[in-house]
């Protein structure tokens, strides 16, 4: 069984994002970048499934600038077998990403796609669902547990009411939630081995996919700063202040 794992290069989650002075977007100059945390979870799950014997090959794929090779090397160091970079300097919308992944899937013919449920930059939570729709594949989103067999996947999902367990036929799209696993740290020997693993680079234009943006960003601004709090002496004062603020 072959599993494809899309991974995204994003601003490291420990870094505070800064808005460009012209409000055209987020400033990425000299900012630490890393793999999207939900993508790390997806890679970890694919590697664990391989260690169990349910998967024979894990292929990581990323869509982004040439620097995304570093992100793919991290996936390879975690245990992925090979990687594919679809090179583009455009900031793509979820639909364009889904279309490009469809083109990669047509070439690779994986039995399943395990991917993060969302990226921490755009926070769209849309690519997995869009990919399933344009492929006409079953989907199991927000997975907190995955069991793979020859032709089916049993997935426990995190939903508002608790947990839901479903079974989908393969090939299918599975998106990883936060509690699916805890990603491993890549060891130094595996980091060195990752440098020798296959990493193919393809230009986005060679896939013949329409990636024209459908949305227009008017401006990007930082969230409004929270006002300072006040101390009250009694519960009655608290209720009075809440009423004055219109909360009660």
Q: What's the average pLDDT block by block, 10 residues per block, for the chain (248 residues)?
A: 96 90 87 95 97 96 95 96 95 95 96 96 94 97 94 93 94 96 93 95 93 90 82 88 73
Per CATH, the number for 2-244 is 3.40.50.620
Q: What is the pLDDT of residue 116?
A: 96
Burial category of 185 from C-beta neighbours within 10 Å (exposed 0-12, middle 13-18, buried 19 and up):
exposed
CA–CA gap between residue 71 and residue 40 (Å, rounded): 10
Token look-up 């990883």 returns: 176
Report long-range pairs for 65-68 (Cβ below 8 Å, ≥24 apart): 65/9, 65/89, 66/201, 67/9, 67/33, 68/9
CA–CA gap between residue 36 and residue 42 (Å, rounded): 10
Q: What is the pLDDT of residue 62?
A: 97
The two tokens of residue 45 are 């799950």
Q: What is the pLDDT of residue 246?
A: 65
Q: Are 37 and 7 in contact (CB under 8 A)?
A: no
Q: How far is CA 176 from CA 16, 17, 24, 86, 239, in A?
A: 24, 24, 31, 22, 42
Taking residue 72's Cβ as centre, other Cβ atoms within 10 Å add up to 26
Q: What is the pLDDT of residue 2?
A: 96
């Amino acid at each position: 069984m072959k599993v494809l794992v899309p991974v995204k290069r994003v601003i490291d989650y420990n870094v505070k994002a800064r808005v460009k002075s012209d409000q055209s977007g987020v400033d990425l100059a000299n900012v630490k970048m890393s793999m999207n945390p939900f993508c790390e979870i997806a890679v970890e799950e694919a590697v664990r499934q391989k260690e169990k014997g349910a998967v024979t090959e894990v292929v990581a794929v990323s869509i982004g600038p040439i620097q995304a090779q570093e992100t793919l090397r991290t996936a390879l160091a975690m245990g992925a077998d090979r990687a594919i970079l679809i090179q583009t300097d455009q900031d793509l919308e979820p639909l364009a990403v889904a279309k490009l992944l469809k083109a990669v899937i047509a070439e690779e013919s994986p039995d399943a796609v395990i991917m993060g449920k969302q990226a921490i930059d755009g926070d769209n939570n849309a690519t997995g669902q869009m990919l399933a729709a344009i492929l006409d594949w079953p989907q199991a989103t927000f997975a907190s547990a995955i069991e793979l067999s020859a032709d089916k996947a049993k997935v426990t999902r995190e939903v508002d009411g608790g947990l839901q367990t479903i079974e989908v036929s393969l090939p299918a799209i599975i998106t990883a939630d936060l509690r699916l696993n805890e990603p491993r740290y890549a060891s130094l020997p595996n980091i060195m081995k990752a440098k020798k693993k296959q990493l193919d680079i393809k230009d986005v234009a060679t896939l013949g996919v329409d990636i024209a943006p459908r949305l227009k960003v008017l401006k990007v601004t930082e969230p409004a700063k929270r006002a300072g709090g006040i101390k009250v002496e009694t519960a009655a004062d608290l209720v009075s202040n809440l009423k004055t603020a219109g909360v009660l």
